[in-house]
Amino acid sequence: MRSYVGMWQNMTEAATTSDWQSPLLSQYATGDALSAISRGMYADSVNGLITKGAPKNYPQVTSVDPAVDPVTVMIGDCGDSTGWLKYRKADGQLSDDKPGGRQAITAEVKKQADGVWRVTRFAVRGVGSCS
């Protein structure tokens, strides 16, 4: 679970400047997860957007595989993006036309060859997808 929460913390820090190349991003994310984060931040950078605040996460392990000495852990979360919104870098004005809110998140975390657990993929559903 530390890797999952760490991914969101590092993403939050990098998003304050939309640093899509931040070395923090690969600390707890790899594969599709890292690609999705980097692409999103790159788009924000190109569009002159930064993100302020922080999301709130409430992760729970939903499954482990195999049951003994697992190498894959699935996480379910009902994250809250209410306090984590996009702003225009040029004038500091709120860019988001939606207020954020609670969103269902699923994530796959795998033990890597170097022994570090990293999020390999995740999906965030729309606002209101969990309560």
Considering the entire predicted model, what is its pTM?
A: 0.94
In 70-87, which positions are buried (b, 16+ CB within 10 angstroms) versus exposed (e)?
beebebebbbbbeebbbb
Where do the domains of the chain lie, and which CATH numbers do they carry? Answer: 2-124 (3.10.450.240)
pLDDT digit string (tens) for 13-33?
A: 999 999 999 999 999 999 999
pLDDT digit string (tens) for 37-58?
A: 999 999 999 999 999 999 999 9
